[in-house]
Amino acid sequence: MKKSNVTIIAAALIAIHVLIFMLVIGTKDEKAKPAPRPEPVKTATAPAPAEVPELAAPTVSMPAPAPVAPMPEPVVMPVEVVEMKPAAPRETIASTRNIAGYLRSDRPDKRTRQVFDELKNDPYQSAIVVDARTGKILYENRSAVYSYPASVTKMMTMLLTLEQIDAGIISLNDRVKITPEIAGIGGSGVYLDVRESGAFTVDQMLEALMIHSANDAAAALATHVGGSIEGFVDMMNQKARELGMNSTKYHSPHGLPPSGGAQPDISTAYDIAILSLACLRHPRTLHYTGTKLSWLPTNTLRKEKFMLANRNQLVGKKPYPGCDGLKTGYHSKGGFSLAATAQQGNDRVVAVILGCEDRNTRDVEIRKLLDKGFASLK
């Protein structure tokens, strides 16, 4: 075969291969190309959405923080430690017990409106001795007969005042108002003047009441606690009923006999024993009734302190062993009276004597009664 023929055949073969290659490449491109999407169906043309304006946040300029002052160095102060006295333990004092032989509160009402010319006797109108720890009656003589207690009445005035202090209604530091009615109270007193209104505290009036037996101090406390003397007397009678003092009727906060023939405060030795135990259950009772001597302070009217000396000789000038309270009383219709308490060892006795003819007889007889009480407890 000629050389020219070979060349033609080779060229033809190359051309055929090139053509086949081009066909293969074209087929692959058709397969890779995605099918065209169908045109969407045209509906009514919707309005173009309104353009929302772009909101620009305002620029807030914050002030620079104030400089913080440096903390001062802590200062350590020396503290003096003071040793406090331990509080005195509260004594065990009996309440009434509705058992035979003990002070009872369940007796029938025996209050009277009768006015007696006098309620005195020789050596006394009535008496009773009680074990303060149990309420047991250790001795009694006509203990339920009527007597005029006079200033022994002030024990109830003190008790109500202390209870109002405990209830937070008044305070020992309250300043007491002095009215013309208070200043005009007669008998034993500390000569309160209207111009001294606010000069004295409840605490000072309690001292004047129980140490000096001041009638004007009783009226001042009654007005401060009860709003009026009449209102306070109502409180006194209500308390007497609560305690079971079945023969007691109060007409005043001080015990003075009234003018015009009205009935004075009336009670019995039995009832005063119940009241004495109620007072002793309050820890401040012995503070006031056992103080021998105290003083009212000076003010613009008083240039000198006013001395308050205890009227109970068993606490003061002629002490009885262990006697540390309660209260004396006297007026012409009721004679001389005394409710006294004494402690010896673990025993405490209350003795009440009402309606003695004279002071000396009262003091002698009350000592005998206290002796009887302690002797019966041995």
Catalytically active residues, by annotation: 151, 154, 213
Residue 213: CA count within 13 A, CB half-sphere: 21
For residue 305, give the 3-state DSSP assignment: coil
**SS3 of the chain: helix, strand, coil, percent, to 5:** 35, 15, 50
- CA 187 – CA 236 distance, rounded (Å): 21
The full DSSP string for 337-355 is: EEEEEEEETTEEEEEEEEE
- Asked if 372 contacts 187 with a C-beta cutoff of 8 angstroms, the reply is no
Alpha helix ranges (H) inside 167-312: 180-183, 202-210, 215-226, 229-243, 269-280, 285-289
Q: Which residue has the tokens 């051309």?
A: 15
Q: Which amino acid is at 33?
A: K
DSSP 251: S
Judge whether 327 and 210 are in contact, CB under 8 Å.
yes
Cα–Cα separations (whole angstroms), residue 156 to 10, 18, 171, 190, 216: 150, 139, 18, 20, 15
